[in-house]
Each structure stands twice: as C-alpha cells, then as structure tokens.
Amino acid sequence: MNLGKTTYAEVWPAVCSVLGRAIPANLLRGAFESTPVDMEMFALVRQLKIGCATGIITDNKRERIDHLRGYQRLDALFAPIVVSAETGCTKDNPAIFEYALERSRVSPEESIFIDNTSENLLVAATLGMNVIHFDDAKNDVAQLTEQLQATYGLPAQWSAA
C-alpha cells in the first residue's frame, strides 16, 4: 500500500478473513482521525510558511493521508504533500525527494528535510538536502525551533502563539 499498488478497500476483506470476523471498513476513518494534532508543531509550520515552502513527504497510505488532508486541514499548511503511494517510491528512493524538490521549486541546498526516523534522512542527505532528526517521542518542538533558528535563521519571526 505504501507504493500505491493496493488500497485498504482491496485488502480489507482479507484482513477480516484472517481475523475471522467482519469488521466495518468505516472504522478506519476513526482510526485515521485518532491521529493527534500537534498544535505546537502546526504553530511552528505556520511561522515557517511566512517565508518558506512547507511540505510533507510521507510513506503513509494514500487513504489515510487523503482523509487527514481534510480532517486536519493539512493543505492549508503544507504544499506539496508528497505521498509514496502516489509517486510509487518510498523515502529509501531519491526519486521521492527529487519529486518533492521539483514541486517545491527549491534546490536541495535550500531545503531542510525533517524526519522522525534517522534512516529516512540518509537518501535526502546524499542529494544535498539539509536534514534534521526529530524525535517525535520527545516531541520537543521548542528544541527543533532553536535548532532551526541557530543553524538556518528560521523562523525569522517566531512567536509561540
């Protein structure tokens, strides 16, 4: 599903069969909506958006991201939103980053790729992108903000509003 070759709708009957019970597929919507909204991170993105392109590169399933785009209004904060299922490659392939850079109209040197998995930073770094590992378990947005300010001068007009 990460590569867009199948969908939840296509695999759901097999999941139910393995579990031995019919589970309503609409329960997925509730599962998607249980994704927490990180208000502090969204505030940082709103500040960054003032002078920067802000985007998402994700290996999440297409249906999940499509739902969250509306439910969490991701399109108001991020452009582009690059989904592996739409590009046919994941973050272990330079093509997904090249596509995101092209859509953002920035060079690798002008970009900062932030990810919660260190391994996902490797390919981006080989392309010349600046990379930052963000420990989402700690979710220290203040520390990320300090790192962005100290290293890149971003966000220039930060306020924790």
- Say if 73 falls within a structural domain: yes
- Say if 118 falls within a structural domain: yes
Find the mean pLDDT for residues 67-74: 96
- Say if 28 falls within a structural domain: yes
Query: What percentage of residues in the chain have a pLDDT greater than 90?
Result: 75
Please tell me the distance from the alpha carbon of residue 119 to that of residue 3, in angstroms, as a whole number.
Answer: 18
Please tell me the distance from the alpha carbon of residue 20 to that of residue 103, in angstroms, as a whole number.
Answer: 44
- Say if 99 falls within a structural domain: yes
Q: What's the CATH number where 83 sits?
A: 3.40.50.1000
Please tell me the distance from the alpha carbon of residue 158 to that of residue 46, in angstroms, as a whole number.
Answer: 10
Q: How many distinct structural domains can be found in the chain?
A: 1
Confidence of residue 113 (pLDDT cuts 50, 70, 90): very high
- Say if 90 falls within a structural domain: yes
b/e map 47-78, b = 16+ CB within 10 Å = bbeeebbbbbbbbbbbbbbbbbbeebebeebb
List the beta bridge partners of residue 58: 83
| Segments forming the whole domain that contains residue 76 | 8-152
- Say if 161 falls within a structural domain: no
- Say if 1 falls within a structural domain: no
User: Residue 155's pLDDT is what?
Assistant: 81
* Residues 81/66, Cβ–Cβ less than 8 Å: no
- Say if 2 falls within a structural domain: no
23-54 pLDDT, tens digit each: 898 888 899 999 999 999 999 999 999 989 99
